[in-house]
Amino acid sequence: MAKLVTIFGGSGFVGRQVARLMAKEGWRVRIAVRRPDEALFTRTYGAVGQVVPVMCNIRDEASVRAALTDADAAVNCVNILSPEGKSNFTNVFEDGAEFIARISAEMGVARLVHISGLGIDPDNPSSYVAAKSRGEAAVIAARPDAVVLRPSVIFGPGDNFYNRLAGLTRMGPFMPVISPSTRLQPVYVDDVARAAMMGATGAAQPGIYELGGPEVMTMAEISRQVIEAVDRKRIPLTVPMPFARLGAMAGGLVQTLTGGLIAAPLNRDQLHLLTQDNVVSEGAQGFGQLGISPTSPSAVIEDYLWRFSPSGQYDAIKRSAKNLRRD
């Protein structure tokens, strides 16, 4: 019988790509999510019955244990950008990650892949980063043999980075830019998923891998890249940090008062992240050790940011038509 992998958060932005690759490799895939009825689309990633969504709440040990039953490998892709209902950074990034690591060891799950992030620091002012840091430490303590992936900001269809920036180009002649000198190393979601697959199948050695794309860019450069990709004439405008903080506080208040019905475009944790460089450390293990050649954003983003262009999917055709000669 084919081997079984349990992917926690397997219907999410990164998890669904890991599921697709694992199914392609012939593995049976168990998608462990809170709402399996909303993850039915993942069943199309493999043959009939190969990919199966199941209910799992990583805040509950019994639920995690059930999801790991008979699994040969596990991948933790769970991520939240802000507290959602009963889920918060502590019980998801710390408790949930610890449950998965400890229980997978107890149950004899051969391999574990944990997706963390660059800039790990338990004392970071960002509660998002601090919780992820403590969660990663708990994983390594319970599973020293784990493959830990630390990606920079991840891009790809459905991302929360380039799509948000492109959305800002619709607001008028100026495109707001926060912390323009901050350096990032955007990494393609498929490349991160391939690294996770290698960890789950045993093709990657245990250890920590820092994953960044082929280019280090400032926020100012990324903003100009987005403006060009969506074919809009916009002027980048630096937003003073005090105004950015006020906006983040106001957005967070609205989100709290509406019970999350109106999501803040930028919360305080995300704002703090934008002020910190997010690049691969010198000498760190990464794509080179995995034999993966990372993909540049410029090779991909136009394929999914077209909806922000003035003419949408027809924008390229209209640009081309302007070059036609009239006799």
Is there a contact between 125 and 268 (Cβ–Cβ < 8 Å)? no
Domain boundaries, the chain: 4-156+186-214+278-294
pLDDT tens-digit map of 236-266 = 999 988 888 887 777 767 666 666 666 666 7
What pLDDT was estimated at residue 320? 65
pLDDT score of 208 more than 90: yes
Written in H, E and C, the secondary structure of the chain is CCCEEEEECCCCCCHHHHHHHHHHCCCEEEEEECCHHHCHHHHHHCCCCCEEEEECCCCCHHHHHHHHCCCCEEEECCCCCCCECCECHHHHHHHHHHHHHHHHHHCCCCEEEEECCCCCCCCCCCHHHHHHHHHHHHHHHHCCCCEEEEECCEECCCCCCHHHHHHHCCCCCEEEECCCCCEECCEEHHHHHHHHHHHHHCCCCCEEEEECCCCCEEHHHHHHHHHHHCCCCCEEEECCHHHHHHHHHHHHHHHHHCCCCCCCCCCHHHHHHCCCCECCCCCCCCHHHHCCCCCCHHHCCHHHHHHHCCCHHHHHHHHHHHCCCCC
Q: Lowest-pLDDT range, 97-101, 188-192, 213-217, 239-243?
A: 239-243
To 5 degrees, how large is the angle CA 244–CA 250–CA 253? 140
pLDDT score of 327 more than 60: no
Rg, the chain, Cα only: 21
Residue 191 to residue 14: CA distance in whole angstroms: 10
Greater confidence, 139 or 264? Answer: 139
Q: Would you place residue 218 in the very low, low, confident or very high pLDDT band (cuts 50, 70, 90)? A: very high
Which position has the token pair 């199914």? 23
What pLDDT was estimated at residue 271? 79
Query: Of 271, 270, 288, which Cα lies nearest the Cα of 280?
Result: 288
What pLDDT was estimated at residue 263? 64
Residue 327 to residue 319: CA distance in whole angstroms: 19
pLDDT score of 279 more than 70: yes
| 107: phi then psi, degrees, rounded to nearest 5 | -90, 0
pLDDT score of 123 more than 80: yes
Question: What mean pLDDT do residues 51-72 have?
Answer: 97
Question: What mean pLDDT do residues 313-327 have?
Answer: 64
Question: What mean pLDDT do residues 85-111 have?
Answer: 95
Q: What is the pTM of this model?
A: 0.92
pLDDT score of 316 more than 80: no
Residue 303 to residue 174: CA distance in whole angstroms: 24
pLDDT tens-digit map of 15-32 = 999 999 999 999 999 999
Q: Would you place residue 81 in the very low, low, confident or very high pLDDT band (cuts 50, 70, 90)? A: confident
Q: Would you place residue 46 in the very low, low, confident or very high pLDDT band (cuts 50, 70, 90)? A: very high
Is there a contact between 109 and 68 (Cβ–Cβ < 8 Å)? yes
Query: Of 110, 111, 102, 105, which Cα lies nearest the Cα of 148?
Result: 111
What pLDDT was estimated at residue 219? 96
pLDDT tens-digit map of 140-195 = 999 999 999 999 999 999 999 999 999 999 988 999 999 999 999 999 999 999 99
Q: Report residue 1 as tokens.
A: 């019988």
What pLDDT was estimated at residue 108? 97
Query: Of 291, 325, 277, 117, which Cα lies nearest the Cα of 204?
Result: 291
What pLDDT was estimated at residue 260? 61
Which position has the token pair 């760190």? 284
Question: What mean pLDDT do residues 274-296 have?
Answer: 95
**CATH of 4-156+186-214+278-294 among 3.30.1330.10, 3.40.50.150, 3.40.50.720, 3.30.1300.30:** 3.40.50.720
Mean pLDDT in the chain?
91
Q: Would you place residue 4 in the very low, low, confident or very high pLDDT band (cuts 50, 70, 90)? A: very high
pLDDT score of 287 more than 80: yes
pLDDT score of 277 more than 80: yes
What pLDDT was estimated at residue 311? 77
Residue 9 to residue 170: CA distance in whole angstroms: 32
